[in-house]
Chain A
Amino acid sequence: AQSVTQLDSHVSVSEGTPVLLRCNYSSSYSPSLFWYVQHPNKGLQLLLKYTSAATLVKGINGFEAEFKKSETSFHLTKPSAHMSDAAEYFCVVSDPGSSNTGKLIFGQGTTLQVKP
């Protein structure tokens, strides 16, 4: 069975400092992993995805994530936080049981606060 755990429910950083949002997964298969961002009362926007190609994945808005199989991790990072990065972030693993239309399993979410 697939599962995903976001290790921090809330992360606070100062503007201009690095961001680290942690995610660990459990999967019996070679997983597809995603990071989504959600601003208040908005839908979800895909930041980046890992699908067994390069282990270091670059996404939008300066975010990137590294797939580490030995650590079963897929942490999200950004070198310098911007005020507009304040939002909820979800780490997601896909259930490959249905090939192209598999279920997505969401982590609990991490609230990123960016202080001026």
Chain B
Amino acid sequence: GAVVSQHPSRVICKSGTSVKIECRSLDFQATTMFWYRQFPKQSLMLMATSNEGSKATYEQGVEKDKFLINHASLTLSTLTVTSAHPEDSSFYICRGAGGAGGTEAFFGQGTRLTVV
């Protein structure tokens, strides 16, 4: 079946630096990529929705200048956490949809970000 490959799975960075997370759709074209954030012991919260070739739509309360999303191709979307701070430490998960993806879509493996 369709797969979304997310990298890195784990990253530790210093405060003030930027971190890029990549999600690649394998075997299907992800016309839409959803980005979620998950705090410990909590559910997934949708951060933004991106469609290939257009600007991402951010959910209320999510800073678009801090969480930069690029979806330049049908197989690659990236989330860059800029000027990271300890409170940005979280688990980030992407979900690709479209074509073979459909509504069940396919989640990446997740990225555990720790900002020190």
Contact = CB atoms under 8 A, between A and B. Distances in A.
Interface of A: 32, 34, 36, 41-44, 46, 49, 51, 90, 94, 98, 100-104, 106-109, 111
B109 A101 contact: no
A112 B10 CA distance: 25
B98 A106 contact: no
B97 A43 contact: no
Given A43-B6, A106-B43, A100 B107 contact: no
B103 A106 contact: no
Contacts of B105: 101, 104
B93 A41 contact: no
Contacts of A42: 109-110
B49 A103 contact: yes
B58 interface: no
B54 interface: no
A41 B44 contact: no
B95 A104 contact: yes
A25 B43 CA distance: 16
Residue from B43, B49, B98 whose CB has the most chain A CB atoms within 10 Å: B43
B112 interface: yes
A49 B104 contact: yes
Contact of B103 (A36, A100, A108, A111): A100
A101 B91 contact: no
7 contacts: A43-B107, A44-B107, A90-B44, A103-B34, A104-B103, A104-B105, A109-B43
In the complex, the 10 A-B pairs of residues with the closest C-beta atoms, listed nearest first = A43-B109, A101-B97, A101-B32, A44-B107, A43-B110, A106-B43, A94-B103, A43-B107, A106-B44, A109-B43
A102 B103 contact: yes
